[in-house]
Amino acid sequence: MSRTALLLIDVQQSFTARPYWQADSARPFLTHCNALIAGCEAAGLPIVRVLHTEGPDTPDNPFAPASGLVRPLDGLRPFQPALTVHKQRHSALVGTLLPVWLREQHIGRLIVAGIRTEQCCETTTRHASDEGWTVDFCTEATLTFDMTTPSGGRLDAAQIMERTATVLAGRFATLVTVPEALARAE
């Protein structure tokens, strides 16, 4: 029997210390994440908390444990994770116990949500798909930020999310809304 698990990737306070953080864009994202968490809890689905750490373990590095910011993002619904992993790479499946745990738990489908849409969420999705998991990518429960292109242009967060959805859809994942993710998990 194959089960579904929610991977909640890098929804952590660290990002609020970055210059690109915008609390306004985080509000709808948190609403969607919280609905996804509540739905998974109600359905008895395991939720995996993934936290990103990198760089020197000093108080001035927001992605270091010493900063006190490698913790759930303020406003995120509290939940009891089935597993918490700390990763240092973009894919949550690299350098963590996550792949072993997923197989031990007979998890066949993953719901991916979190921060940043085009980085850790997309990379984990591609990796998981290549490793044989079915992935539901819940775009509305991901968050990213505007970026400058190598040529000096500007991509806004909505464009980045659209690009990510385009390259994942039908190849690496099924794009889902929160209600669709929860319905498919039952």
- Answer left, alpha or beta for residue 75, where phi above 0 means left and psi between -120 and 50 means alpha: left
Residue 106: alpha-carbon gap to chain centroid = 20
Residue-range domain boundaries for the chain: 3-185
Going by their DSSP bridges, the two strands 134-143 and 174-175 should be labelled as parallel
Contact 15, 67 (CB under 8 A): no
Residue with token string 């509290």: 78
Amino acid letter for position 100: V
CATH: 3.40.50.850, 1.10.3720.10, 3.60.20.10, 3.40.50.720. Which one for 3-185? 3.40.50.850
- State the number of CA atoms in the 13 A half-sphere of 138 facing the CB: 32
Contact 173, 129 (CB under 8 A): yes
Q: Output the six-digit token pair for 181.
A: 């993710």
Answering whether pTM is above 0.95, one says yes
**Whole-number Å distance between alpha carbons of 32 and 180:** 12
Which pLDDT tens digits describe the chain residue by residue (186 residues)?
579 999 999 999 999 999 999 999 999 999 999 999 999 999 999 999 999 999 999 999 999 999 999 999 999 999 999 999 999 999 999 999 999 999 999 999 999 999 999 999 999 999 999 999 999 999 999 999 999 999 999 999 999 999 999 999 999 999 999 999 999 997
